[in-house]
A and B are shown apart, each in its own frame.
Chain A
Amino acid sequence: MTVEEFVTQLANKSENNFMYLRYVLPDIADGKYRNLSIESLPQGLQDYYEDHWRRMGMFDKESKRTKIKIVYVLAELREPVSRELIAEFAGEDAFTVQEVLDEWQQFLHRDKFNGETRYSVYHSSFCDFLSRKDIVQAAGVTLQDINARISDNLMQGMFGDE
């Protein structure tokens, strides 16, 4: 395959979405697709997310319940927050949160704030993917529950048990 053909095919695969290239090019460089032909690259950004979702074993929702929850908490956040606060919102320990942050790092944005790292979803298309009906269903969560979890924690902090 010539370079030109490769570029054309990759452009087709990306469906002209820049974010697709941002994810796929480092993957190719890392050798993740070494045994694959370009045809087997995911078609478009949504497919790319779904691929990653599958590779992380997230469709196996029983064993991944905790991680799924953390990913959804990340997606519903309104601004970047620290690992500790994510752990509080999800009701999980910081170690488990760190695992998720590592596994999903290419989809996350890191901000330094007063020497502390804060995390947020890099691009809203990932949140769109997560709120897709079939994915929400497969994940066994509802966005309402995730928001209830976060808001319960916030209200508890403010109003206590009054």
Chain B
Amino acid sequence: MSDIRNRLASLSPEKRDYTLKHAPRHLAKAGKAGELYRCLTNFDFIEAKISAVGVQSLVKDYDLAFNPDIILSDEKGKLFRLIQGALRLSAHILDRDKTQLSGQLWGRLLSFDIPDIQALLEQAKQGKVSPWLRPLTPSLTQPGEPLLRTITGHADSVMALEIVPDTNWLISGSDDRTLKIWDFQTGKELKIFTGHTAAIRSVAATSDGRLIISGSKDTTLKVWNLKTEEEVFTLKGHSDKKGTFFHNSHQSCQCCGSSTKR
């Protein structure tokens, strides 16, 4: 075990947790750019933090370097973005299996010929005691490419998407008969709506972000209250499966309202 792992292991659980969660924030508020850099480019810290509090809170730590009180060279700033990007791309894998960290970093960062990146990968290699598959070529999506993040969680095809206006919320409708609400910035699943008895084919949100409407192959439309997570009402009447309905946020709501009166 490395010295840092040993030291972390010897701390009280309270202090270890506090360190992993909050050291970067305190360093940033203290204006200690060098130490912040040291922390967030250290494989042992990265690994311990992911295992204690998950990937997303670590991904956010790299943003601390871009607050105006922190003076980091362009070169180091770029390197921060690379590591952050690699972790964000790996998040859905690491959420399920934290031992994939070394392989993920190798597969995504190997091609960057920057001494501190190579040092990080070397640390990652040395940290491995059990057998692992080490990519020899940069075989995974690299940071800096168009793909930023993969979100997983549906058990079947995703057929419909909608972003709730003025929020980070993404609604997805799937063949698994559920609707899910995600924070697309963090990849976190926020809510799940169940009730449809067949695949969901289309979703829409009202412009005030209060209601969402889903259309399903079960021949119903359902209107949901996003806040209370309740099904507001179900609209029946179609005899064939729903395709996509046209909407212009507000209008679609009015359209639903009038159907209920019928």
Q: Could you tell me which A residues sit within 8 Å of B by CB distance?
A: 76, 78-79, 81-82, 84-85, 88, 143-145, 147-148, 150-151, 154-155, 157-160, 162
Contact = CB atoms under 8 A, between A and B. Distances in A.
B18 A79 contact: yes
Interface string B144-167: 000000000000000000000000
Given A144-B30, A162-B3, A155 B18 contact: no
Given A154-B19, A155-B39, A159-B7, A148 B14 contact: no
Residue among A84, A151, A160 with max Cβ neighbours from chain B (10 Å): A151
A151 B15 contact: no
B6 to A, nearest CB: 9
Interface stretch (B21-29, B117-125, B135-143): B21-29
A81 B15 CA distance: 9
14 contacts: A85-B18, A143-B29, A150-B26, A150-B30, A151-B23, A151-B35, A154-B18, A154-B19, A154-B22, A157-B11, A158-B4, A158-B39, A158-B45, A160-B7
Interface of B: 3-4, 7-8, 11-12, 14-15, 18-19, 21-23, 25-27, 29-32, 35, 38-39, 45
Contacts of B11: 157
A81 B7 contact: no
B20 to A, nearest CB: 9
Contacts of A143: 29
A78 B22 contact: yes
Contacts of B22: 78-79, 154
